[in-house]
Structure 1
């Protein structure tokens, strides 16, 4: 069966065409649910999706009539998406998500019903100041996580790292369920600090071009000792009064921000990671290497550390959506 998968985030949408479980065509566009939030209308999202589907079909050399099923995941199931579905509370299995899938006809996007995969949230009730830090949620990362559970045959407690604008840490239990997650603004912080603060002049190209282990670890140690804000300003001091180049300074900042993420894993009540838990790291090459370096130098992370290659993390959202849809009996 030929299948289309739609992965819609806050700012971007990716459509992949699949034949018998293998990707055969793809297209992406800079349209997401942020456009709905800004305009108050889903029109731009619908138009962007329709055009991206057309481009993906052309890339796969398929016609609309060739597609047997369309699956969608990510922020498209939020209140600013196309089919709002409540989060499934953790602990959530792939079967739980499959059972909570919904179909909806969005004629401005596709001529047949689309099946939507819901997100997952931590199970915390009566949210207030006393427990708000324990709450977290995701839309999209759950499909990526279940793709990795299947690809890597994960059957032990594991934390999956999905870095991005919002870095997501997903906890998988021994029953292959998502039992919680925690989110940070690491990616957005790096972008804003590098481009929209006084540090922009000290960082030149903005982001680290290659890993400098000494500076990366120094940044993490600085943030742990004196706090992220002061560690960030140290980048300017290193520029003004020392001889470190822009890439070294960018590594110091990268270490400070990512080091703060590791503190989150150790101390957050949203996810209960213990020493010895397996650690699976995905993301862009620089981020993968940086996180792996920081974890390897920290005795808390004493479990197996798996750093994914590009092939292992390709098409995760679509692969995960297909995995979940099979549990529902929607695909062969």
Structure 2
């Protein structure tokens, strides 16, 4: 069976072509729903999705008629995407997402219907200052999380860490459902602080190139004790009056920002973090190594930490959206297991 999966985020669109459970072609464009927000038009997004599909089909030497199913997830189901679907409310399992899938035709993208998977939001109503911190939501990370639940055979409660521009912490309960999530701006903060503040001259190459454990943990301690803003300025002090190199200073900043994320996990009402909960950490190598070290070095957390390999986190969105479609009955249960 030939299946196309579309994963559209804020800034990027990725398409994979799956055949017999394996990815045989993939393509990407640096276009996402941010482009809709900026321009007020979906034209650029529609064109990017269409072109990305065409590129994947060309790679696989297939025409449209050979594709039996098209599935989409991520911000493509937001009000700035191609088919708006309300979030489902946590706790949400694969069956919840499957039941809420929506079929829609977008003629400028694909001539036949596309099946869209909604996002998930926390179970908080009547939002105001008294409870806004408890609310959180995701579009795209839900299918990635379910992909990891299946791939790792998770049976116990866990927190899945999906770092990025917006770092997402997804709580999985003992019934393999999404119990809730909490989001931070860690990735965007690191980028802005490294490139658009006075610290740019102190960091030179920007992001840390390799882990310096001592400096990473020191940055986290500093943010915890004196706040993120002061910890960040300490990077300039270390540049002006100490002998630490740019990579060491970048690790201090990385520890400060990611350490603030751990404070979120301890104190946020968006998810109820049990200190003994298992951590599953994904992301780019240096980010997942840094997060694992910070968790292991924090006395609050006592659960096992699983750091994913590149293979374990490959093509998560496509894998997860196909798992949802299988529960919906769109994919034959006799279809070969996903790779």
Q: Same fold (TM over 0.5)?
A: yes
Structure-1 residue corresponding to 2:203: 203
Query: For 2:321 and 2:109, how far apart are their aligned partners in 1?
Result: 19
Q: Which moved more, 1:52-61 or 1:156-165?
A: 52-61
Other-structure match for 1:285: 285
Instruction: Please give the residue correspondences for 1:1-332 in structure 2 after superposition, counting only pairs within 5 Å.
Output: 1-332=1-332
Q: CA deviation at 1:65?
A: 1.3
Number of aligned residue pairs: give it: 332
Q: Secondary structure at 1:115's aligned position in 2?
A: strand
Which secondary structure does the structure 2 equivalent of 1:319 belong to?
helix
> Residues of 1 paired with 2:6 and 2:251: CA distance?
35
Q: Give the TM-score normalised by structure 1.
A: 0.99
Shift of 1:21: 1.6
CA distance in 2, matches of 1:278, 1:69: 35
CA deviations over 1:22-51 (Å, ceiling 9, x no partner): 111000000100111111111100001110
- Structure 1 residue runs of 4+, over 2 Å off? none
Q: Helix, strand or coil for the counterpart of 1:293? A: helix
RMSD of the alignment, in Å? 0.5
Please give the secondary structure, in 2, of the residue aligned with 1:209.
Answer: coil
CA distance in structure 2 between the partners assigned to 1:299 and 1:156 by the alignment: 21
Secondary structure of 1:71 counterpart:
strand
Name the TM-score, length of structure 2 as normaliser: 0.97
Give the 3-state SS of the residue equivalent to 1:14 in structure 2.
strand
Give the C-alpha shift of residue 57 in structure 1: 1.1
**Separation (CA, whole Å) in 1 of partners of 2:21 and 2:78:** 27
Distance 1:60 1:168 in 2: 33
SS at match of 2:320: helix
> Which segments of 5 or more consecutive residues in structure 1 lack a partner in the other structure?
none
Deviation of 1:119 (Å) = 0.0
Secondary structure of the 1:76 match is helix
Matches of 2:60 and 2:274, distance apart in 1: 44
Output one character per residue of 1:141-184: Cα deviation in whole Å (capped at 9) or x when no partner: 00000000000111111000000000000000000000000000
1:210-230, Cα deviation, whole Å (9 max, x unpaired): 000000000000000000000
Q: Residues 263-301 of structure 1: CA distance to partner in whole angstroms, max 9, x if unpaired?
A: 000000001111110100000000010001101111222
Alpha-carbon distance between aligned partners in 2 of 1:144 and 1:15, rounded to the nearest angstrom: 15
1:298 alignment partner, SS class: coil
Show CA shifts across 1:111-139 (max 9, x none).
Answer: 10000000000000110100000000000
Distance 1:216 1:270 in 2: 26
**Matched position secondary structure for 2:68:** strand
